[in-house]
Amino acid sequence: MTPRQVTAMMVTSMAALGAIGSLLGIPLGIAGHHLVVPRMADAVSISLPSYMTDVWQAPALAGTALVGLAIAVLGAFVPARSAARLTIAQVLRSE
C-alpha cells in the first residue's frame, strides 16, 4: 500500500468506530440520564424543575455526534501518518 492509502485506511476505520460510538453512546447517555437523575432527586426528596431535567435538544446531540467523529479522525491522523512512513523492514523488525 502507498503511504496515502495506509493513512486513509487507518483514518476511515477510526471514523467508523467514532460514528458507531456516537450512535451507541448518545442514546445510552440519554437513557442513563433519565434513569439516574430522577432517582437521585427522589433519594433526597426534592423535585427538580423541568429546565434541569429536559436538557437534550437535537442540535446539541448532533453537534456532540460530530465532535465525537472529529475527535476520532483527528486522533487517528497522526499515528496513521507515522505508520505510513515506516518501511517494510522497520515493520518486520518491530513485530
Q: What is the 3-state secondary structure (H, E, C) of 60-74?
A: HHHHHHHHHHHHHHH
Phi and psi torsions of 86, nearest 5°: -75, 145
- The model carries a pTM of 0.71
Residues of the chain with pLDDT under 50: none
Q: How many domains does the chain have?
A: 1
Going from the C-alpha of 10 to that of each of 18, 33, 93, the distances in angstroms are 12, 33, 21
- Give the C-alpha separation, 94 to 82, whole Å: 14
List the domain range (segments joined by +) for residue 16: 3-94
